[in-house]
Amino acid sequence: MGHLTGKEYLVDHVVEIAKNICLAVHKAPTITGKTKIETEIIWGDDLLPIIEVLEPIAKAVRYVQWDYETIKSCYEKGESPVIIGIGAKVDRSNLGWNCGACGQPTCKDFNNYAKDLGGGGQLGGPSCNWKILDFAIAADWACASAWQYRVDNRIMGSAAFGLQAFNYLPDCNVKLALALGPPRDMVYYSREEMHRKITYEEEKQDMLHTVPTMFTCFPGPGNPMYKSKNDWWAPPEYMNVEYSEESMDALDTILYEEVPEIIVKHADAVAARYKK
């Protein structure tokens, strides 16, 4: 007997759906049959370190801002998304295929390279390409499974950076995060959570930076004017490509000062979970 009302039970149930999705990840067919794939589920207050570490990056990287604002806003409304961490061990090859896809002539060379120079990438690496394909098939099965349960979801490299930063899934060196729920339409597509978070000017500036040809005037002179405002001819503006010390300094501050500070704050607590 029972009578469920309100929305809380639905939010809780997303965790159960996440467990079902993890079953699909581990059932996914693979090419090599030799790739170690793991899953973890994180939600509620346990998302706070991930939200915290995304905050400084969100200031400099728009797509991270997008995911950060969405996850944070849902959490603050009491509708925490459930994050499924999916990881794989891909930086050593036990295949002996010597196929060359990784850029090394043999698997042995790849393993030597990985041992000496690997481990510095934001999202892992280096990678055996066939093992990456196995990992990606499994990650895709997570997404497909989530759609079949009709729970809004999005696979994220941004939240995966959080997994990588705190060394969640410690035996894996490539990671992706599937954000699941809350249970409603349009959480991660046409995001309502982003309303009033980005100004018209910022949107316009992003377009100018990312699709500059849309704003280019007659290119005949070789150094064309740019239509960056309504009266673009008075006075005209020109594009320039240059090293930006300001941008690099900002990025360095985020990656080498702010992010490590947050990592140090939570790393022990995260590591302790794997010692049991």
Half-sphere exposure in the Cβ direction for 75 (13 Å, CA)? 20
Could you tell me the two tokens for 276? 């049991």
Q: Considering only the stretches 11-19, 30-38, 42-50, 199-207, report the one whose residues sit in contact with another protein under the rule CB under 8 A.
A: 30-38
143 binds another protein (CB under 8 A): yes
The secondary structure element, H or E, covering residue 179 is strand 174-180
Instruction: Find the binder of another protein among 81, 85, 126, 183 (CB under 8 A).
Output: 126
Instruction: Find the binder of another protein among 46, 52, 55, 140 (CB under 8 A).
Output: 140
139 binds another protein (CB under 8 A): yes
236 binds another protein (CB under 8 A): no
136 binds another protein (CB under 8 A): yes
C-alpha torsion 162→165→166→168, nearest 10? 70
The C-alpha atoms of residue 195 and residue 200 are separated, in whole angstroms, by 11
Interacting positions 156-185 with another protein (CB under 8 A): 157, 174
Instruction: Find the binder of another protein among 135, 166, 168, 215 (CB under 8 A).
Output: 135
Q: Are 132 and 89 in contact (CB under 8 A)?
A: no
The C-alpha atoms of residue 173 and residue 171 are separated, in whole angstroms, by 7
The sign of the CA dihedral 90, 96, 100, 105 is positive
Task: Please tell me what DSSP assigns to residue 1.
Answer: -
Select 95 or 217, whichever has its Cβ closest to another protein.
95
- Taking the complex as a whole, how short is the minimal distance between the CB of residue 12 and another protein, in angstroms? 26
Instruction: Find the binder of another protein among 6, 29, 221, 222 (CB under 8 A).
Output: 29
Q: Considering only the stretches 2-10, 22-30, 78-86, 222-230, report the one whose residues sit in contact with another protein under the rule CB under 8 A.
A: 22-30
